C-alpha cells in the first residue's frame, strides 16, 4: 500500500514551535532592539542576560521564518518584522502576540478538557475565578497589552470592514465596544459627513483618546464610557460592533441586538465585524481556529452568515448582507425592520 504524503501532518506537528519562537523573540525584545541597530548574537545575549548559544539558535530560527536576515555575523530585521513586530509602530501586532504568549498559549494547552466539557479554561489555567475579560484588566500592563493587540488587528481589519458597504446615508455611528477607536476612525476618515462615538467600558475608553487624536477626523469622533449590556446607549443611526458578538452565547447576543434595535431610528443600520465561517463550516481555517479559541477562552463561537442572519432577523433586522473582506475580519450589515 502506498502511503499518502506526510508533509502536512509533519507541518502541523511542528506548527506550535514556529509560533512560540516568534512569541519568545517578541517577548525578549529582539525586534525592538534590532530596529535600532544590527547586532551579533553575543552582544544581544549580554544585553538580554541570556545564554548565547541558545539565543543564537532562536535568532537563526527567526531567519528561517523570514523575520530576520543575516548580514555577515549580524542580525537585521526583515521589513515584515519592522512593520509588525516592533512595539512603537502604529501597525504593530506585538500586543496580540504578547497576549497570545502569556494568555492564549497556556489556555490552549487545555483544549482537550475544553472539548470534553464544552467550557472555557480560565480557572484551570490561571487558578482564579472569573472570565478572560477579568484578566484583561487585572493590571494596567495587562490592559494595555490587550488593547494594543486589538488595535493592531483593527488597523488591518477596520478599513476593509468600513469599505464593504455603502454607509454614505448615515450621519452618526455608535461603535459599541470600540476599544481604541480603530473602526470609528476608519469610518470617519472614509465618510466626511459622519460623526462617530466610541463606546466602551470606562477603564478602556481612555485608551481611545490618544488614538483618536492622531486622526485627521478627530473633531468628529468622541468617546463615551459605559457598559453596553447595562447602560443606556447613545443615539445614532448606525451602530457597529467589531469582534463583540463572537464572545457571547445566543441569549446575550439576542438581548444586545434587541437593545440596539430599540435605539435605532427607522431605516437605521447595524454593521458587524466578525470572521465568517462558510455555510458548510468547512473553512476558512482562520475562522475555524478562532471558533476553537472562543471555546477555550469565552462563552462564544464563530458563526456562518446564515447563523448571523437568523439572529438578526429574530431581533427585528432585515436585509442582512455579508462581505468577505480578505482581511482579518469580514463584514455583515443589516437594517432596522419597519
Tens place of pLDDT per residue across the chain (338 aa): 899 999 999 999 999 999 999 999 999 999 999 999 999 999 999 999 999 999 999 999 999 999 999 999 999 999 999 999 999 998 899 999 999 999 899 999 999 999 999 999 989 998 877 666 666 667 777 777 777 878 888 889 999 999 999 999 999 999 999 998 999 999 999 999 999 999 999 988 888 898 899 999 999 999 999 999 999 999 999 999 999 999 999 999 999 999 999 999 999 999 999 999 999 999 999 999 999 999 999 999 999 999 999 999 999 999 999 999 999 999 999 999 76
Task: Determine how β-strand 172-176 pairs with β-strand 74-77.
Answer: unpaired
What cell numbers appear for 289 in the block?
481556529
Domains of the chain, each with CATH number or no CATH: 7-84 (1.10.10.10), 94-136 (no CATH), 147-336 (3.40.50.150)
Q: Do the Cβ atoms of 258 and 316 come closer than 8 Å?
A: yes
DSSP assignment, residue 149? H
Residue 246 is among the residues annotated as catalytic for this protein:
yes
pTM greater than 0.85 (yes/no) = yes
From 110, 151, 246, 337, the catalytic residue: 246
In this structure, the dihedral spanned by the alpha carbons of residues 98, 100, 103 and 108, taken in order and rounded to 10 degrees, is -160
Q: Do the Cβ atoms of 281 and 223 come closer than 8 Å?
A: no
Q: Could you give the count of Cα atoms lying within 13 Å of 162 in the half-sphere of its Cβ?
A: 23
Q: Could you give the count of Cα atoms lying within 13 Å of 85 in the half-sphere of its Cβ?
A: 26
Residue (of 214, 185, 213, 216) closest to 198 by Cα position:
185
Q: Could you tell me where the beta strands, DSSP code E, fall in the chain?
A: 39-40, 68-71, 74-77, 172-176, 195-200, 221-225, 238-242, 269-274, 317-323, 330-336
- Distance CA(284)–CA(277), nearest Å, equals 6
Amino acid at each position: 500500500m502506498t502511503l499518502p504524503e506526510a508533509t502536512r501532518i509533519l507541518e502541523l506537528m511542528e506548527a506550535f514551535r514556529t509560533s512560540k519562537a516568534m512569541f519568545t523573540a517578541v517577548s525578549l525584545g529582539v525586534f525592538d532592539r534590532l530596529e535600532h541597530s544590527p547586532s551579533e548574537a553575543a552582544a544581544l545575549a549580554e544585553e538580554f542576560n541570556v545564554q548565547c548559544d541558545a539565543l543564537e539558535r532562536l535568532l537563526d530560527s527567526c531567519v528561517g521564518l523570514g523575520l530576520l536576515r543575516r548580514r555577515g555575523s549580524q542580525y537585521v530585521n526583515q521589513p515584515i518584522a519592522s512593520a509588525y513586530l516592533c512595539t512603537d509602530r502604529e501597525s504593530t501586532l506585538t500586543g496580540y502576540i504578547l497576549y497570545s504568549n502569556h494568555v492564549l498559549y497556556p489556555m490552549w494547552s487545555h483544549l482537550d478538557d475544553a472539548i470534553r466539557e464544552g467550557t472555557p479554561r480560565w480557572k484551570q489555567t490561571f487558578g482564579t475565578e472569573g472570565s478572560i475579560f477579568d484578566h484583561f484588566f487585572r493590571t494596567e500592563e495587562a490592559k494595555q497589552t490587550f488593547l494594543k493587540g486589538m488595535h493592531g488587528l483593527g488597523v488591518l481589519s477596520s478599513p476593509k470592514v468600513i469599505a464593504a458597504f455603502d454607509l454614505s446615508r448615515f450621519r452618526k455611528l455608535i461603535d459599541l465596544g470600540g476599544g481604541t477607536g480603530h473602526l470609528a476612525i476608519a469610518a470617519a476618515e472614509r465618510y466626511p459627513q459622519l460623526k462617530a462615538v466610541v463606546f466602551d467600558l470606562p477603564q478602556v475608553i481612555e485608551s481611545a483618546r490618544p488614538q483618536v487624536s492622531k486622526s485627521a477626523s478627530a473633531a468628529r469622533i468622541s468617546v463615551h464610557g459605559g457598559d453596553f449590556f447595562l447602560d443606556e446607549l447613545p443615539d445614532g443611526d448606525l451602530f457597529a460592533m467589531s469582534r463583540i458578538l463572537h464572545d457571547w452565547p445566543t441569549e446575550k447576543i439576542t438581548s444586545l441586538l434587541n437593545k440596539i434595535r430599540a435605539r435605532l431610528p427607522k431605516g437605521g443600520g447595524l454593521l458587524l465585524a466578525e470572521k465568517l465561517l462558510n455555510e458548510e463550516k468547512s473553512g476558512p481555517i482562520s475562522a475555524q481556529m478562532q471558533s476553537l479559541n472562543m471555546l477555550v477562552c469565552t462563552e462564544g463561537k464563530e458563526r456562518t452568515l446564515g447563523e448571523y442572519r437568523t439572529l438578526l432577523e429574530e431581533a427585528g433586522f432585515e436585509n442582512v448582507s455579508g462581505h468577505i473582506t480578505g482581511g482579518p475580519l469580514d463584514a455583515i450589515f443589516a437594517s432596522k425592520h419597519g
